C-alpha cells in the first residue's frame, strides 16, 4: 500500500509541476503581449479628391482613410460617416464652400481639420509622427 501512495504522490507532484509550468508560460506570454504595443488605427474621413501621389505621404499606416468626394458627400451625410469617424480631414482646394459650412456644423471642432494644400497635410502627418 505504501508503493501505491508513493506513485499517487509522484503523479500529483508531476501534475502540480506541469500546472505551475503552464502558469509560468502563460504569464510570460502575457508579459510579451503587454510589452508589444498594439497600434489602433484612427478612422479618418478625408473629404476631397485623393491626390495620385498619396503613397508619398508619411505616416499613413496609423490611419484608415475613407475618401469622400464631392459626388458622394450627400451619401456620407446620410450614413453619418463624419460623426462615426475619429477625425475629418478636409482638402480646402477641392471642396466648395457650402459643403465646408455644412461639415463645420455637423462635426465637432476637435476632430475637424482643414488643409489648404497637400503639403499642409504632409506637415500635419509629420507632426503626428514626431509626437509618437
Residue 13 carries which DSSP code? H
Q: What CA–CA distances, in Å, run from 94 to 30, 42, 54, 62, 91?
A: 48, 23, 15, 24, 6
Residue 120 and residue 73 share a domain? yes
Residue 117 and residue 53 share a domain? yes
Question: What total number of domains does the chain contain?
Answer: 2
Residue 64 and residue 15 share a domain? no
Residue 9 and residue 55 share a domain? no
The range of the structural domain enclosing residue 76 comes to 42-131
pLDDT band at 17; cut points 50, 70, 90: very low
Pairing of β 42-47 and β 63-68: parallel
Q: For residue 107, which of 130, 84, 129 has the smallest C-alpha distance?
A: 84
Instruction: Write down the pTM of the prediction.
Output: 0.65
Residues contacting 70, CB < 8 A, separation 6+: 48, 49, 94, 95, 96, 99
Mean pLDDT of the chain: 74
Residue of higher predicted confidence among 90 and 3: 90
Mean pLDDT calculated for residue range 11-32:
44
Per-residue model confidence as pLDDT tens digits over 65-123: 888 998 999 999 999 999 899 999 999 988 899 999 999 998 888 899 999 988 898 88
Residue 125 and residue 67 share a domain? yes
Residue 57 and residue 114 share a domain? yes
CATH number for the domain that contains residue 119? 3.40.50.11230
Residue 116 and residue 60 share a domain? yes
Residue of higher predicted confidence among 25 and 45: 45
Amino acid at each position: 500500500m505504501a508503493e501505491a501512495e508513493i506513485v499517487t504522490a509522484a503523479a500529483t507532484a508531476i501534475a502540480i509541476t506541469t500546472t505551475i509550468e503552464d502558469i509560468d508560460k502563460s504569464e510570460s506570454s502575457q508579459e510579451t503581449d503587454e510589452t508589444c504595443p498594439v497600434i489602433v488605427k484612427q478612422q479618418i474621413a478625408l473629404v476631397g479628391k485623393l491626390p495620385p501621389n498619396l503613397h508619398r505621404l508619411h505616416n499613413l499606416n496609423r490611419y484608415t482613410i475613407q475618401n469622400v468626394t464631392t459626388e458622394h458627400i450627400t451619401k456620407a451625410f446620410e450614413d453619418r460617416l463624419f460623426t462615426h469617424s475619429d477625425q475629418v480631414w478636409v482638402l480646402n482646394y477641392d471642396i466648395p464652400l457650402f459643403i465646408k459650412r455644412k461639415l463645420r456644423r455637423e462635426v465637432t471642432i476637435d476632430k475637424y481639420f482643414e488643409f489648404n494644400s497637400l503639403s499642409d497635410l504632409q506637415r500635419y502627418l509629420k507632426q503626428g509622427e514626431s509626437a509618437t
